[in-house]
Structure 1
Amino acid sequence: MPIRDMTELSMISKQAWSSEELQHYHRAFQQIMPYLNIEGHTIHREIIEEIEARGGINKD
């Protein structure tokens, strides 16, 4: 399944994101963390919370 862009994903709940999308955007947000505004930090926190709710990142 291809990773959807943030424009599309911003219109649906984090629960509807695939695990691959959560992991992809988590890594992307980690890299740009110093440059994020409050909204960016909020989105990243929501991504982390959803990853944790699913049991963490699968490293397989």
Structure 2
Amino acid sequence: MLIVEVKSGENIERALKKFKNKVRKVKQVQQLRENQHFTKKSVARREEVSKAKYIQHLKDETQD
């Protein structure tokens, strides 16, 4: 459970911004979306390797 302490006299928009940042940092929404359907470990690993290859390709292009 995420807790955001609001100081007295603090603007509610500021507190909401703190809450949104905390949610983004702990990747709460992303985990909820991932848990909506089951992904086999082999498929997840294949996607992870594919993403790593793509990122490495981008890094190699910028170094040239």
TM-score by length of 2: 0.32
TM-score by length of 1: 0.34
Q: Bigger radius of gyration, 1 or 2?
A: 2
